[in-house]
Amino acid sequence: MGSTQHPRRGNTRQRIQDVALELFAEQGYEKTSLREIAERLDVTKAALYYHFKTKEDILISLFEDLARPLDDLIAWGGTQPHSLETKQEILRRYSEALQGAAPLFRFMQENQATVRELSIGHTFKERMIDMLDLIQDPDASLKNRVRCVSALFTMHAGTFALRDVEGDPEEKREAILEVSIELMSQAHRVTP
């Protein structure tokens, strides 16, 4: 099997993550073996095993590294006033975090059944609950809770659904963000 050249991002651990995510995307998580990852990297399985014992370990490390901005956002949001402006800023920052972690979120979208079975599925679900708590009022009506859930879902589904649509990626991201903010803001309008 020929090896593909990969730009070195700095260290072996990062190269392993890059190649593993690439292979997971190409052939699926379940069909990718540690041996194939090692071959693509042109290293021994023992060298790979030094860094990661299992495919799940690789995936967890990817998730932790690429989701760190989300953790930072949740921590920041928890210290801010519970205002509409703060909630809009949370969605803006979340949009940027999603953009930075696009390969991982694409993997998660395309491999939902696998992700649900792995520990990252549970961890991601907890983070989404934390995000929802930040953008919805604790006493929100059912309709307004649905609007806030839809705002987050729009961020995920919009990115995935529009990936093959012609156009500037930044314009698509901004359009998705605008719709998400509109949904969330509508949940916070005071009606007589």
pLDDT for the residue 1: 45
What are 180's two structure tokens?
């998400």
DSSP-derived 3-state class of residue 166: coil
pLDDT of residue 2: 44
What integer pLDDT is reported at residue 190 of this predicted model?
58
pLDDT (0 to 100) of residue 95: 94
d(CA 7, CA 9): 6
56: burial class by Cβ within 10 Å (0-12, 13-18, 19+)? Answer: middle
pTM value? Answer: 0.80
Ordered structural domains, the chain, with CATH: 9-53 (1.10.10.60), 65-188 (1.10.357)
Low-confidence ranges of the chain (pLDDT < 50): 1-9, 192
Q: What is the pLDDT of residue 3?
A: 43
Residues 89-143: tens digit of each pLDDT: 999 999 998 888 877 877 877 788 888 888 888 888 899 999 999 999 999 999 9
Q: How high is the pLDDT of residue 73?
A: 96
Q: What is the pLDDT of residues 88-98, one digit of tens each?
A: 999 999 999 88
Rounded Cα distance between 92 and 84, Å, is 12
* pLDDT given at position 156: 86
pLDDT at 177 (0 to 100): 97
pLDDT at 104: 80
The single-letter code of the amino acid at 32 is: T
